[in-house]
């Protein structure tokens, strides 16, 4: 139940890509038929990604190596296309793929505005409008948060930005395939996607660039991807991402019905059995597969280790920040107290999870929490000293 970290490669995806790892290994740039047939398959993959996000033109899709490359490409492209603009706007709860660029950009003289969020992880739209200036090169805000699942109003924010003549990019790595995306009815200029978040292999991503958007390549060299991303194509993975995108579009209703029902059953079962547990994020507006729950007065790492002994996989935050003993930057930005932020666990389901797995977690997690609290100096035999009063739901 850690599918926001990565997903299983769908059997249909592996079946479609493996031929291009073994027999049809031609270079798609070659003039001969052996390579040319591969190029046609890449075109099909591009069309499938186009359909998933409702893009008007397949040429608006650029294949990259991952979501991080797509994000960096979008940011540096905007800054190079508008060299006189020295500001970008983002949020305090972005993925490290965005936030870790901030110190580097600031050393280059770029001001990086990080918008705050409220206790539910929601953006202050007045603050956003206040910081939009003629000097802003790009707004980059994730479609949905990877830790809490909170969905941001990116369509509304994009309209405001574009009206001010500012480019808008969104990291939709966690959202694609879970909620509808339709670029033909959107003002968004650029979108980042990652294959391994939607049942394709790791090492493949894509960047949507709306036709007419000023663009500068991140990687220069060969003519691949219409001179917008150099390097011989990762053919098998591109084909895999195309198939995964097609399947994600087919299973979108399932994500928002059956998968959501499993998430809700998991969440309700845990909250019913474990006192002083809190849902983090905007429960009214979040991804259908994600729940983030804080268990007060214990450490998330302890929970994960004991769950791991029972073959239960989850996460204490973003997989890209795991290993840090610091509490989640997302929860801290939301103002979640340390005593709760340290004990937060993210469960993220996929269409391959089952109700039996959900019931297994609901049955086995409460004794784990009870065991850890029994040895916690902060729990005080069920009478913890409270320095705050969280909002329980």
Collect all residues with Cβ–Cβ distance below 8 Å to 109 and sequence separation of at least 6: 86
Among 320, 359, 384, 390, the active-site one is 320
Q: Quick one: tokens of 101?
A: 């660029």
Collect all residues with Cβ–Cβ distance below 8 Å to 19 and sequence separation of at least 6: none
CB 346 within 8 A of CB 292: yes
Distance, in Å, from the CA atom of 334 to the CA atom of 324, rounded to the nearest integer, reads: 19
Catalytic, 320? Answer yes
Question: H-helix or E-strand containing 248?
Answer: helix 235-250
Distance, in Å, from the CA atom of 56 to the CA atom of 243, rounded to the nearest integer, reads: 19
Q: Which of 122, 170, 124, 176 is nearest to 284 (CA)?
A: 122
Distance, in Å, from the CA atom of 85 to the CA atom of 166, rounded to the nearest integer, reads: 10
The torsion angle over the Cα atoms of residues 347, 348, 350 and 353, rounded to 10 degrees, is 0
CB 299 within 8 A of CB 343: yes
- Residues that are catalytic: 320
């Amino acid at each position: 139940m850690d599918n926001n970290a990565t997903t299983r490669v769908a059997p249909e995806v592996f079946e479609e890509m493996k031929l291009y790892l073994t027999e049809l290994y031609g270079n798609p740039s070659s003039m001969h038929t052996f390579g040319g047939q591969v190029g046609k398959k890449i075109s099909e993959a591009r069309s499938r990604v186009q359909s998933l996000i409702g893009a008007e033109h397949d040429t608006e899709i650029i294949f990259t190596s991952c979501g991080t490359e797509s994000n960096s490409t979008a940011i540096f492209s905007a800054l190079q296309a508008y060299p006189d603009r020295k500001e970008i706007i983002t949020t305090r709860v972005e993925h490290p793929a965005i936030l870790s660029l901030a110190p580097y950009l600031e050393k280059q003289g770029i001001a990086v505005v990080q918008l705050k969020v409220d206790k539910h992880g929601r953006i202050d739209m007045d603050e956003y409008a206040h910081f939009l200036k003629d000097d802003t090169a790009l707004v980059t805000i994730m479609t949905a948060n990877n830790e809490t699942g909170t969905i941001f109003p990116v369509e509304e924010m994009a309209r405001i930005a574009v009206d001010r003549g500012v480019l808008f990019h969104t990291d939709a790595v966690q959202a694609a395939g879970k909620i509808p995306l339709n670029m033909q009815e959107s003002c968004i200029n650029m979108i980042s996607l990652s294959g391994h978040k939607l049942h394709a292999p790791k090492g493949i991503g894509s960047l949507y660039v709306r036709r007419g958007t000023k663009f500068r390549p991140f990687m220069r060299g060969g003519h691949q991807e219409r001179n917008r991303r150099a390097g011989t194509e990762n053919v098998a993975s591109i084909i895999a991402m195309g198939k995964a995108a097609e399947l994600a579009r087919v299973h979108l209703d399932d994500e928002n019905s059956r998968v959501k029902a499993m998430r809700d059953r998991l969440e309700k079962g845990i909250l019913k059995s474990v006192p002083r547990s809190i849902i983090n994020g905007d429960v009214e507006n979040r991804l259908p597969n994600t729940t983030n729950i804080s268990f007060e007065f214990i450490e998330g790492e302890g929970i994960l280790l004991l769950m791991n002994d029972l073959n239960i996989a989850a996460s204490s935050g973003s997989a890209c920040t795991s290993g840090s003993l610091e509490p989640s930057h997302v929860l801290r930005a939301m103002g979640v107290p340390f005593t709760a932020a340290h004990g937060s666990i993210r469960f993220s389901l996929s269409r391959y999870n089952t109700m039996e797995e959900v019931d297994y977690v609901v049955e086995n997690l409460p004794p784990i929490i009870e065991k850890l609290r029994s040895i916690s100096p902060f729990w005080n035999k069920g009478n913890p000293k409270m320095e705050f009063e969280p909002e329980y739901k």
